Amino acid sequence: MSMDAVFRALADPTRRQLLDSLHIRNGQTLNALCAEMDMTRQAVTKHLAILKEANLVTTIRKGREKEHYLNPVPINEIADRWIGKFERGRLNALGDLKKRLERED
């Protein structure tokens, strides 16, 4: 729910890589995800916990394995609620800056 958790989760390149990996192949087990990462399984587990906290990943226990699923909803919420705000002001902001820079010379 908290946008802060999502931003924080997306800040780390390893975690974005995990999301990418799940985007390519959804439902991977912890071991499968670890195979692509250059770190210990325990480190990957911690990253996945942070992604789960941000509600970007959901897990399902399957026997002794654990499948991981991508939930893109929080990413879209950020896009809608936060990024959209700056997108609307894009051209105006650039125009203002340009004017200022020209006046500077």
Partner DNA sequence: TTAATATGCAACCATTTGGTTGCATGTCAA
Partner DNA sequence: TTGACATGCAACCAAATGGTTGCATATTAA
Contacts for 12-17 with beta carbons within 8 Å, 24 or more apart? 12/47, 12/50, 14/39, 14/44, 14/47, 15/47, 15/50, 15/51
Q: Is 50 in the site for DNA (CB under 7 A)?
A: yes
Contact with DNA (CB under 7 A) among 16, 53, 66, 71: 66
Token readout for 80 is 């809608």
Identified binder of DNA from the candidate list 46, 81, 88, 99, rule CB under 7 A:
46
- x/- site string to a copy of itself, residues 10 to 49, per CB under 8 A? xx-x--x--x---x--xx----------------------
Segment contacting a copy of itself by CB under 8 A, of 34-42, 47-55, 77-85? 77-85
Judged by beta carbon, residue 35 or residue 79, the one nearer a copy of itself is 79
Taking CB under 7 A as the rule, does residue 64 contact DNA?
A: yes
CB of 39 to a copy of itself, least distance (A): 17
- From CA 35, how far away is CA 46, in angstroms rounded? 15
Strand pairing class (28-29; 65-70) = antiparallel
Residues that bind DNA (CB under 7 A): 8, 11-12, 14, 29-31, 34, 39-43, 45-47, 50, 62-66
